[in-house]
Chains A and B, each alone.
Chain A
Amino acid sequence: MGCALSVAPSVATFLSMSTPRRNPCELEIDLFCHGVRMDVSCCIAEDGRPVARTRAGLGSGLEIIIPGNLKDLWVNVPVEEDFVRSSPYLLRKREGRYEVTDARNGEVYVLRLPTEPRWYEGTTSAGTRMREVGVLQGTYLGIYVSNSCMYWYGEPAKNCRFCTTGFNVGVNEVAEKSIEDVVELAQRAKDESGVTFVHFNTGYQKGRGLQQIAPYVKAVKERVGALIGVQAVPPRDSSGLWQYDWLRDLGADHFSFCYEFHTPEVFAELLPGKEETVGQQAFFRAMEYCQARMPKGACSGEIIAGVEPVAATLAAIDYITGVGAFPTVCIFRPVVGSDMEHYPSPRYEDMLPIMRHMYVACRRAGIPIGVAPNIEVSLIVNPDDAQYLVPRTPAFHLDRLWLRMVKLLAQRHFKRAMRPQQVRGTLKPAQLSTMSRP
């Protein structure tokens, strides 16, 4: 069946021939900023992954792979948002392969579409559709464990303004995830899709987010075996930071801290729930606490580029890499249904220096990038994607060699971490009984 998303912009819109051919990472950034229109020749239902919004904060697009000589890049390209209608990029299928054409200069880029995992249409033994429990985002499995984020409940709602998660749960995914469903899904995703990393996310749960995730972490680590990432709103003060040690004992390998905006005023305005309940400093405190106890790059600071001034995003990257964490930089997407639906998509020219800076800052801080096995995040420009943005000097090649050695040395550690294993921690540590509700 042909699939069309097309209100084609007129040729005159793209008269300028000044746009040079993009390298893979430049193309990735440009696609994040403009999205892609789809020609009637595309048959994504047969050839690609369905556009899934489960666990969609900023992502609701089409998963593609841009091949490259340094590495292939996974990108979740906007297709649903209104700004896509004027994108210079058109995706089409020709002679059995997919390519995007840039109407500004006629350049053609060949792409691949990752196929839909067979388990997407499968059900768990309890009868739940697997894709409603979790979805692949790039090559990792993302699972939103909770019954929505509490910032969405209440009048007025205090949700992060770019987010639509509260709208999705119960609409495109089941409201409550059972541990058995999650374990079954993780096992199939590992067996059939080669998933190495399972990421649990829970939004705001009135100070109980980390506890809510704990049983899933333990179950997947013990019964499936995978690298495990955790993301939740951090505790308001330092008395709750012990929970990160507890989660590590239960099997967590990675923590991410989504503080989104570096400028305190922008944080307060666009993240009213986070501002009111914990504040920006709680994110910094938790990230610094965890990163100080874990290997470099085991934690990440998540930020959104394209809303606050470029200088603020650069400062955020410097701060995150300065504490030894990994910067995950999303390019802002005015997602359909969000409060920021009518904001403009960011400019390519602004995003390019940010991503270049991200790569340089990581390398300067000695953060190993691209070392973990088979983890490609499609919603962001991965730091090692940005290696395409720096000159290929002898120092660059030497650094790549060094990273390859680190990867080789880390293999044994990752292999061990991905085996099903008895964990040290218990689900009822003594501290839990003394914990007060914030």
Chain B
Amino acid sequence: MIRTPAGDFAVPPDGNVVALQTWLHALQSSAALFHWRQDRAGIDLACAIPVAEQPNRARLKLFAPDMGVMVAFFYKESQVPFSTDRFAYGAMIHRRCAPTESECAASVVWMLSGLHPEQRPEGIKRAFPFDIPR
């Protein structure tokens, strides 16, 4: 069980607990505010800090697609309310390892920019062989 500000999250037994803990620690200790949507798969967080006076569309989904694998998937939601589309911006994939503090910090900065293409951190995979759960 991982304790988060929004509640408890049961890590799947085959998930990469260390990577998940590192991410949650980094997010909790950053100055940014994130909302956790508990109706979504994994831990799905929206950045609540506006960009250029517009709502920030940046989202992060942490989930475990495979044994020992943890994925941090960055995306935006559609701005059209009837659409279920997701606009993917890439993912960090942690296979039996955890992200570094600087990787997490750069990702938070990127989310604060609204996932600006020129601020994409290193280590973000643009393509990955996983289906992203809803």
Contact = CB atoms under 8 A, between A and B. Distances in A.
Interface of A: 1, 3-5, 7, 38, 43-45, 50-53, 60, 62, 79-80, 147-149, 152-153, 157, 159, 164, 166-172, 174-175, 336-339, 341-342
24 contacts: A38-B80, A43-B82, A60-B85, A79-B79, A147-B129, A152-B127, A159-B126, A166-B126, A169-B127, A170-B129, A170-B130, A170-B132, A171-B75, A171-B86, A174-B131, A175-B129, A175-B130, A175-B131, A337-B89, A337-B115, A338-B117, A339-B117, A342-B116, A342-B117
A337 B78 contact: no
Given A5-B79, A5-B80, A80-B79, A170 B128 contact: yes
A361 to B, nearest CB: 35
A55 B57 CA distance: 22
Nearest to A342: B117
B102 to A, nearest CB: 18
A60 B76 CA distance: 14
B82 A44 contact: yes
Contact of A157 (B76, B83, B84, B127): B127
Contacts of B88: 164, 167-168, 171, 337
A167 B126 contact: yes
A4 B82 CA distance: 9
B87 A51 contact: no
A3 B82 contact: yes
A342 B116 CA distance: 9
Given A167-B90, A171-B132, A339-B117, A157 B82 contact: no
Chain B contact residues, majority secondary structure: loop
A170 B128 CA distance: 8
A164 B87 contact: yes
A175 to B, nearest CB: 6
Given A52-B85, A167-B88, A337-B87, A79 B80 contact: yes
A341 B86 CA distance: 15
A50 B126 contact: no
Nearest to B54: A7
Nearest to A46: B82
Interface residues of B, number: 26
A160 to B, nearest CB: 12
A62 B85 CA distance: 12
List the 10 closest A-B pairs by CB distance, nearest first. A167-B88, A152-B127, A45-B82, A166-B127, A337-B87, A51-B83, A3-B81, A171-B88, A336-B87, A3-B82
A341 B80 CA distance: 18
A147 B127 CA distance: 10
A80 to B, nearest CB: 6
Most buried by A among B78, B84, B88, B129: B88
A167 B132 contact: no
A336 B128 CA distance: 19
B53 to A, nearest CB: 10
Nearest to B52: A82
B80 A80 contact: yes
Contacts of A62: 80
A116 B21 CA distance: 43
Interface string B89-105: 11000000000000000
B78 A167 contact: no
A50 B127 contact: no
B83 A50 contact: yes
Contacts of B85: 51-53, 60, 80, 172
Contact of A4 (B81, B128, B132): B81
Interface in B102-134: 115-117, 126-132
Contacts of A342: 116-117
Given A3-B80, A336-B87, A337-B88, 17 more contacts: A1-B82, A3-B82, A4-B81, A7-B54, A44-B80, A51-B82, A79-B79, A80-B78, A80-B79, A80-B83, A167-B126, A170-B128, A171-B86, A175-B131, A337-B87, A337-B115, A341-B117
Contacts of B130: 170, 175
Nearest to A174: B131
Contacts of B76: 336-337
A147 B80 CA distance: 27
B95 to A, nearest CB: 16
A172 B86 contact: yes
Contacts of A79: 79-80
A327 to B, nearest CB: 29
Contacts of A53: 85, 87
Contacts of A166: 126-127
A100 to B, nearest CB: 16
Contacts of B132: 170-171
